[in-house]
Chain A
Amino acid sequence: MSLKHAARHRLASCLTLGLLALGYQCSAQAEVVYVSNEKDDTLSLIDLDSLEVIDTFAVGQRPRGITLSGDGSKLYICASDSDTVQVMDLATHKIIASLPSGEDPEQFVLHPNDQLLYVANEDDALVTVVDVNSHQVVAQIDVGVEPEGMAVSPDGKWVINTSETTNMLHWIDTATNQLIDNTLVDQRPRHVEFNRDGSLLWASSEIGGTVSVVDVSTRQIIRKLNFEIRGVHRDKIQPVGIKLSKDGRYGFVALGPANHIAVVDAKTYEVLDYLLVGRRVWHLEFNGDESRLLSANGVSGDVSVIDVDKLKVIKSIKVGRYPWGLAVKP
């Protein structure tokens, strides 16, 4: 009897251990989101399964733009007040290098070749090109005053920079790292985003309150999107972050202090809905399969999670002070 009991006990223990191991494996495979907290000098780590903050890491001063390396093993962090781009090893969550980024790096974009980082230096009216392998500055390109938004075309041919004060999109040819053309948009362009095939570019204008859709081949604006939210004053509608779904169905536009994200039909350019999120929503990011959209809400200090199929905000997760950028690691 006691033998049977012992055997049963052992079997139960094995099962428990097995389940625990399975659970650990599952949680290890879960998608996570890195969120830069501008005022806390930290990164928050959110588990996308449990939708909870599972860790927080100290980084350089005023972290803003963050992006993953091509293989997802490293995270590049614009530490604006430290005047550097930090490189975090995601296996250990330690800072392993600091790249020379020029002064006050705010946003950047990693070229599809996984080698060149194009960094906007807000105070210097420059875009600095940094080689992430050699840690050397490859080029510096003069752009308009207060450069901010950065985007690279899917084929890697173009890098676009927006300058907040000059109100322009600057077209940089990546083959020569030369400024080729400028497109005038509405006041204070903050962010640019290519569609999947690289034929269109969406650019948000914070003060203008519009999003311009630009034809990449002609570099001309083909459509301007306006937003109107019942009960919200027009001045508060300040578009910043943009995300376009890969299936070409939706464009999501973060409307800053309007505390809403506009859902735009990417084919007809009709605004389908406005989703209420936290205060001063700036930047957006999809998870891997684009079933979830995440928004960094600066003033309320949280990240809202949106179910893309249902177009519903399912949760807002408290992070550090003034969350700014987001990066999803599969």
Chain B
Amino acid sequence: MNSTIGTTPGTVPVSGSARPHSATDSSQDKPNDSSLIHTDSGTIITAGFCAGLSAYGHCFGGILMREYLRFVQQRSRFLSSLVRPLLWLVVFASGFRAALGVAIIPPYETYITYETYIAPGLCCMILLFNGMQSSLSMVYDREMGSMRVLLMSPLPRSWLLLCKLMAIGLISLTQVYAFLALAWLVVDFDPPLMGYITALPALFLTALLLGAIGLFLSTHIRQLENFAGVMNFVIFPMFFISSALYPLWKMREASEWLYWLCLANPFTHAVELVRHSLYGQLNLAALTITAGTTLMFALLAILGFNPERAAAGGKVTR
């Protein structure tokens, strides 16, 4: 699945003999960064790093490019990320087409089909899977050694991780919009045109939240094989115990404690934020909770990130 990892250019500028010379390393693609001086010992020193904002931007550009190349080279992953929500939309939602339409809930002002209801949740599903897959890729990067390459950058680790989050988020957005285009074509999901623009920041924030959760989890996953646990204990519960598939009032009809569980799930608020923004409305409570939990998980991920474990095989480089 991640066969292309490490074969793509775009990692942050590193150089020197301490750089791992594995076949998968591609860091030589950036040899002439003027902001760096290479020493005999192979450590990287910044010359007036100070390099300022451009260095930060360069770093982000590099990471984004790497994620982008990984994305375009893994067409099957792109397709599967679209097929999954489309199956939900076309097959699952068709069966429940007439299940809703008995109560009008904000942001809707009239009765809606089930397809219309679950489309925002499915957008978030794409972000959820991508966010969690990013955690998988972090573990993979760790095992393959490319994480060590990344961490050799002189820039703060928090910035590197944030860049990774943003890069994954931006790549995910293209998948979400591809899905929205298909949803518009396949079923009658047609929010106002402006909604596609107003939803952009909400989708990006959601991508950051789920990426941050993924990153946080990756700090606790020791081996790649443990990812199945993430599927069972994180992705599925987060998706099902939320307002993505059923409105909260419907959940409350079924059980009160399920309703409260849904409310405690940050994914619910992310879905509601996206749902409202698709109709040009701001759900302030959802925004506050989503932004707050994003910040919390990002901090936890950065603080909990262990560079020694990240540098695969216990070979500590710093």
Residues of chain A at the chain B interface (Cβ within 8 Å): 230-232, 259, 276-279, 300, 304-305, 313-316
Q: Are A316 and B97 in contact (CB under 8 A)?
A: no
| Distance of A279 Cα from B110 Cα, bound (Å) | 12
Beyond A230-B97, A231-B94, whether A313 also contacts B110 by CB under 8 A is yes
Report which of A231, A232, A304 forms a contact with B110, defined as CB distance below 8 A: A304
Report which of B95, B101, B109 forms a contact with A276, defined as CB distance below 8 A: B101
Q: Sorted from nearest, which 4 A-B pairs have the closest CB atoms?
A: A231-B97, A316-B110, A315-B109, A313-B110
Q: Which residues of the other chain, B, contact A232 by a CB distance below 8 angstroms?
A: 98
Q: Are A316 and B98 in contact (CB under 8 A)?
A: no
Q: Are A276 and B102 in contact (CB under 8 A)?
A: no
Residues of chain B at the chain A interface (Cβ within 8 Å): 94-95, 97-98, 101-102, 104, 109-113
Q: Are A279 and B102 in contact (CB under 8 A)?
A: yes
Q: Which residues of the other chain, B, contact A304 by a CB distance below 8 angstroms?
A: 110-111
For the complex formed, measure the closest distance between the CB of A232 and the CB atoms of chain B, giving whole angstroms: 6
Residue of A nearest to B95 (CB): A231
Report which of B95, B97, B109, B111 forms a contact with A277, defined as CB distance below 8 A: B111
Q: Are A313 and B111 in contact (CB under 8 A)?
A: yes
30 interchain pairs, CB-CB under 8 A: A230-B94, A230-B97, A231-B94, A231-B95, A231-B97, A231-B98, A259-B98, A259-B101, A259-B111, A276-B101, A276-B110, A276-B111, A276-B112, A276-B113, A277-B111, A278-B111, A279-B101, A279-B102, A300-B102, A304-B110, A304-B111, A313-B110, A313-B111, A314-B109, A314-B110, A315-B109, A315-B110, A316-B104, A316-B109, A316-B111
For the complex formed, measure the closest distance between the CB of A188 and the CB atoms of chain B, giving whole angstroms: 23
Residue of A nearest to B109 (CB): A315
For the complex formed, measure the closest distance between the CB of A309 and the CB atoms of chain B, giving whole angstroms: 15
Question: What is the count of residue pairs linking A and B with beta-carbon distances less than 8 angstroms?
Answer: 34
| Distance of A192 Cα from B279 Cα, bound (Å) | 38
| Distance of A316 Cα from B101 Cα, bound (Å) | 11
| Distance of A277 Cα from B104 Cα, bound (Å) | 11
| Distance of A316 Cα from B94 Cα, bound (Å) | 23
For the complex formed, measure the closest distance between the CB of A294 and the CB atoms of chain B, giving whole angstroms: 12
Q: Which residues of the other chain, A, contact B94 by a CB distance below 8 angstroms?
A: 230-231
Residue of B nearest to A316 (CB): B110
Residue of A nearest to B111 (CB): A276
For the complex formed, measure the closest distance between the CB of A275 and the CB atoms of chain B, giving whole angstroms: 9
Q: Which residues of the other chain, B, contact A259 by a CB distance below 8 angstroms?
A: 98, 101, 111
For the complex formed, measure the closest distance between the CB of A57 and the CB atoms of chain B, giving whole angstroms: 25
Among B97, B102, B104, B110: residue with most chain A CB under 10 A: B110
| Distance of A40 Cα from B274 Cα, bound (Å) | 39
For the complex formed, measure the closest distance between the CB of A300 and the CB atoms of chain B, giving whole angstroms: 7
Residue of B nearest to A300 (CB): B102
Q: Which residues of the other chain, B, contact A279 by a CB distance below 8 angstroms?
A: 101-102
Q: Which residues of the other chain, A, contact B113 by a CB distance below 8 angstroms?
A: 276
For the complex formed, measure the closest distance between the CB of A77 and the CB atoms of chain B, giving whole angstroms: 27
For the complex formed, measure the closest distance between the CB of B113 and the CB atoms of chain A, giving whole angstroms: 6
Residue of A nearest to B98 (CB): A231
Q: Which residues of the other chain, A, contact B98 by a CB distance below 8 angstroms?
A: 231-232, 259
Residue of A nearest to B97 (CB): A231
Q: Which residues of the other chain, A, contact B95 by a CB distance below 8 angstroms?
A: 231
For the complex formed, measure the closest distance between the CB of B107 and the CB atoms of chain A, giving whole angstroms: 12
> Given A231-B98, A276-B101, A314-B109, list of 5 further CB < 8 A pairs?
A277-B111, A304-B110, A315-B110, A316-B110, A316-B111
For the complex formed, measure the closest distance between the CB of A292 and the CB atoms of chain B, giving whole angstroms: 13
| Distance of A300 Cα from B111 Cα, bound (Å) | 10
Residue of A nearest to B114 (CB): A231
For the complex formed, measure the closest distance between the CB of A277 and the CB atoms of chain B, giving whole angstroms: 6
Q: Which residues of the other chain, B, contact A300 by a CB distance below 8 angstroms?
A: 102
Q: Are B102 and A277 in contact (CB under 8 A)?
A: no
For the complex formed, measure the closest distance between the CB of B227 and the CB atoms of chain A, giving whole angstroms: 37
| Distance of A313 Cα from B101 Cα, bound (Å) | 13
For the complex formed, measure the closest distance between the CB of A279 and the CB atoms of chain B, giving whole angstroms: 7
| Distance of A232 Cα from B112 Cα, bound (Å) | 15
| Distance of A278 Cα from B100 Cα, bound (Å) | 11
For the complex formed, measure the closest distance between the CB of A224 and the CB atoms of chain B, giving whole angstroms: 25
| Distance of A132 Cα from B104 Cα, bound (Å) | 41
For the complex formed, measure the closest distance between the CB of A302 and the CB atoms of chain B, giving whole angstroms: 8
| Distance of A277 Cα from B112 Cα, bound (Å) | 8
| Distance of A314 Cα from B110 Cα, bound (Å) | 7
For the complex formed, measure the closest distance between the CB of A28 and the CB atoms of chain B, giving whole angstroms: 25
